[in-house]
Structure 1
Amino acid sequence: MMLGLPLGLIVEGAVAILLALTIGYCVLLNQRLKRLHQDKDAMAKMVADLVSATNLANQAIKELKGTAVEADLTLSARMEEAERFGVELANHVTAGTVLMERIAKITSVARQSQAIEPVEAPNKVQTALQQLSERVRSRGAAA
């Protein structure tokens, strides 16, 4: 025997100490479980918010895709129209250049005629201008 204490008393003291430690550990474990449960509720709310935000983002992406497709179609139509106008403008510029060259030739011929035949020059110029205006009218009617 130790120090004169009966063996039964020592065993019961050890059991009491172990029981007290177990109760203390259970209280500590209970507090941790409560915190875990609170964290679980917060986590569930966070997951619900995340799902909601994801749904909103998916909807926004769908709308952006639709808007992008619509903008692409509009831009393509405008580009085609601009190309048609560009071709038409180039044709007009070419026709204008040809017309200006003809006017320059007529003017040159008229000036030469004035230098050679001062009396007949106005008639030749007027005749050339009439022919030119007839050609322009015939082209306008054909177009």
Structure 2
Amino acid sequence: MFGLPLGIFVEGAVAVLLATTVVYCIMLNQRLKRLHADRDALRQMVADLVGATNLANQAIKELKATAVEADLTLSARLEEAERFGVELANHVNAGTVLMERIAKITSVARHSQAMEPVEEPSKAQSALQQLQSRVRNRGAAA
């Protein structure tokens, strides 16, 4: 053929293929090293993510417990406030009724004094007069 023995040509081709294989193996080895390094980093990232997820789950549980406790406390306080509101309304109504009675008594007492001739005030009349003067004084002070 070209003057070169066929054996040298075949061996040269094998040498080139071996050199190509060695270069390819070196490149593949570098890629595998990077992949292993990335795998270790990924493992660490997954471990950190699992830890963060566990912390978040624990925080959510604590928030739920706190919310339930706050709801119970708020419900109890609202019930107590409603009872106090009803009790206060009852006291206000009782006070209003009492004031109306006192006003009627003083009105009747004034009316009866105007119709009766002037005479010595009785003990009941003097008590009513004192009560009227106190009511007037309180009204003027307010």
Report what 2:102 is aligned to.
103
For residue 11 of structure 2, give the secondary structure of its aligned residue in structure 1.
helix
* Pair 96,118 (structure 1): closer, same or farther in 2 beyond 3 Å: farther
Question: What percent identity do the matched residue pairs reach?
Answer: 78
Q: Deviations over 1:113-137 (max 9, x none)?
A: 23222636954545779xxxxxxxx
Report what 2:66 is aligned to.
67
User: What is the TM-score of this pair, normalised by structure 2?
Assistant: 0.78
Greater relative CO (CA pairs within 8 A, separation 6+): 2
Structure 2 distance, partners of 1:35, 1:14, is 32
CA shift for structure 1 position 71:
1.0
Report what 2:43 is aligned to.
44
Paired AA for residue 64 in structure 2: K
For residue 4 of structure 1, give the secondary structure of its aligned residue in structure 2.
coil
User: What is the TM-score of this pair, normalised by structure 1?
Assistant: 0.77
Gaps of 5+ in 1: 130-143
Paired AA for residue 9 in structure 1: I
Paired AA for residue 82 in structure 2: E
Conserved 8 A contact 2:109-2:125? yes
Gaps of 5+ in 2: 130-142
CA RMSD of aligned residues (A): 2.3
* Pair 99,21 (structure 1): closer, same or farther in 2 beyond 3 Å: same
Report what 2:140 is aligned to.
none
Q: Deviations over 1:35-81 (max 9, x none)?
A: 11011111111111111111111111111111111111111111111
Paired AA for residue 53 in structure 1: A
The alignment status of 1:53 with 2:52, answered yes or no, reads: yes
The alignment status of 1:31 with 2:30, answered yes or no, reads: yes
* Pair 80,66 (structure 1): closer, same or farther in 2 beyond 3 Å: same
Q: Deviations over 1:2-51 (max 9, x none)?
A: x4333332222222212111111110000010011011111111111111
